[in-house]
Each structure stands twice: as C-alpha cells, then as structure tokens.
Amino acid sequence: MADGLLHRVKINREEEMLYLEVMQMQFVLSSGTEFNAIKSLVLGKILESNDIDQDTMKANSQGFVGCLSSVQFNHFAPLKAALHHTSSAPVIVKGRFTASNCGTSTGADSTSSETTHSFADHSGPIDEGEPLANAIRSDSAIIGGVIAVVIFILLCITAIAVRIYKKKSVYQKNEAKGSENEDSAETALKCELSMQNTVNENQKEYYF
C-alpha cells in the first residue's frame, strides 16, 4: 500500500470476527480476543505504552505516516470532529494534526475521496490531550434549523387557510343577508301591488 496512491480500507467487526477490505479485496481475520465495550479508536501511533503487549508495540514502533480520509467509527467521524474547533467532543488529539489535500493530489477519483486530512503522530510536541469539537453539534444545529423552517412554513400555511376560511364565511353570511333583503323587498312590492289593485277595484264599484 506504500505506493503514494489513495487506498480505501474498511474494517468491520462482527462479534469475534474481523473483516478487512482493502480496495474491494476482502480478508477475514479471526481473533481469540473478545471485543467487549470498545471505548476508543486510535489513529496514528499509540503514545501511552503502559498496558500494550509486545506484538502491538512492535507494530506501533513506526506509527502511521501518510494520509487518512473519511474515517468513520460507528456513526462518528473523528477526523471531521477534530477539525471543528468548538468546545465539546469525544476526540483527543496528541501530537501534530494538520489538514491536507494529499488524497486529492494523487489523481484518484474525486468522488471516492472526501476532504482529506493528514495525521502524523510520530513528530511534534506531545500535549495532555485537547478535546476538540465534533460534527454532532453542527449536525444538530442543521437539523434544528430545518425543523424550525418546516414548523414556520406549516404555521404560515395554517394562518393562510384560517384567513381564507374566515373570508369565505363572511362572504356566505353577506350573500345570505342579501338574498333575505331581496325576498323582503319582493314581498313588500307584491303587498303594495295587491293593495293598489284592491283600491282600484273598490273605486270601480262605487263610481256613478
């Protein structure tokens, strides 16, 4: 893999079995160790070597030098979280951590490589560990904004519907009153014509 090109590595665990996929080539790794309650994922080089076995120490002697891109641990993106400098995150950075475009400069497919970050813990000062923000807060803010916009649109639609309903009710009432007034005027006109006819007939009877 040390050819300067961008490689896609996927590690999946199902109980005691590890499945490793490198550039769509799959490998099955069996282990006698039970994976119970994994609490952390180390990218780069393990700096605290107190409780590490000899095999791990040997593999960890050189550390990792290169480019990591689009790392996902369960539903969490630690590289993205480490680059967001807000106040709360389950990410601790020790040593040097810088952003880079090393993954995009190799000529690989741009759709398969997202924003690429460099992670080299083999050099630079070692600090106590600085918690950096993750993408959870920003995602929550985006989701909250979308929900607020949807609620606002629903309220606007409800207000418009209520206004249209009120206007329709007022129009129907006015129309009903207008028809009643027309009926009353027609009845009064008929009564007046009837009285005039009666008077004319009476005048005809008593005319000498």
Residue 80: inside a domain, yes or no?
yes
Shared-domain flag, residues 20 and 34: yes
Indicate whether 69 pLDDT > 90.
Answer: no
Question: Within this chain, do residues 23 and 52 fall inside the same structural domain, yes or no?
Answer: no
Percent of the chain with pLDDT over 70: 44
Predicted pLDDT of residue 152: 95
Burial of 153 (0-12, 13-18, 19+ CB in 10 A): exposed
Query: Sign of the C-alpha dihedral, residues 158, 164, 168, 174?
Result: positive
One domain, residues 75 and 110: yes
Q: What is the pLDDT of residue 201?
A: 62
Lowest mean pLDDT among 95-99, 101-105, 107-111: 107-111
Are 14 and 34 a contacting pair, CB within 8 Å?
Answer: no
Same domain? For 109 and 165 the reply is no
Q: Determine the average pLDDT of the residues in 183-196.
A: 73
Check residue 85 and give its pLDDT.
Answer: 54
Is residue 84 predicted with pLDDT exceeding 60? yes
pLDDT at residue 157, rounded to an integer: 95
Six token digits for residue 110? 């741009």
What pLDDT band is residue 58 in, cutting at 50, 70 and 90? confident
pLDDT at 54: 77
In the sheet where 9-14 sits, what is the strand order? 9-14, 17-22, 25-30
Q: Is residue 9 part of a domain?
A: yes
**Alpha-carbon distances of 19 from 22, 157, 166, rounded to whole Å:** 10, 51, 65
Rounded to whole angstroms, how far apart are CA atoms 38 and 74? 11
pLDDT digits over 151-173, tens only?
999 999 999 999 999 888 888 77
pTM check: above 0.75: no
Examine the fold and report which residue of 39, 54, 69 is the final residue of a domain before the chain moves on. 39
The more confidently predicted of residues 161 and 38 is 161
97 phi-psi bin (left φ>0, alpha ψ -120 to 50, beta other): beta
**38-63: average pLDDT:** 69
For residue 74, pLDDT over 80 is answered with no
Q: Which among 40, 47, 12 has a CA at the least distance from the CA of 120?
A: 47
57 and 126 belong to one structural domain:
yes
d(CA 207, CA 169): 57
For residue 67, the tally of other CB atoms under 10 A from its CB is 21
Check if the beta carbon of residue 97 is closer than 8 Å to that of residue 123: no
Residues 66 and 122 in one domain: yes
Domain containing 51 equals 43-133
The answer on 55 and 35 residing in a single domain is no
Co-location of 22 and 48 in the same domain: no
Q: Supply the DSSP symbol for 133.
A: B
Q: What CA–CA distances, in Å, run from 64 to 42, 89, 127?
A: 11, 23, 18
pLDDT of residue 127: 42
Mean pLDDT of 113-124: 38
Dihedral of alpha carbons 141, 146, 147, 149, sign = positive
In a domain, 59, yes or no: yes
Residue 207 maps to a domain: no
Beta carbons of 29 and 21 less than 8 angstroms apart: no
- Domain identity same for 34 and 55: no
Give me the number of domains the chain comprises. Answer: 3
Looking at the fold, whether 70 and 119 belong to one and the same domain comes out as yes
Q: 189 pLDDT exceeds 90?
A: no
Residues 129, 150: one domain? no
Residue 61 shares a structural domain with residue 115:
yes
3-state secondary structure of 175: helix
The whole-number pLDDT of residue 140 equals 75
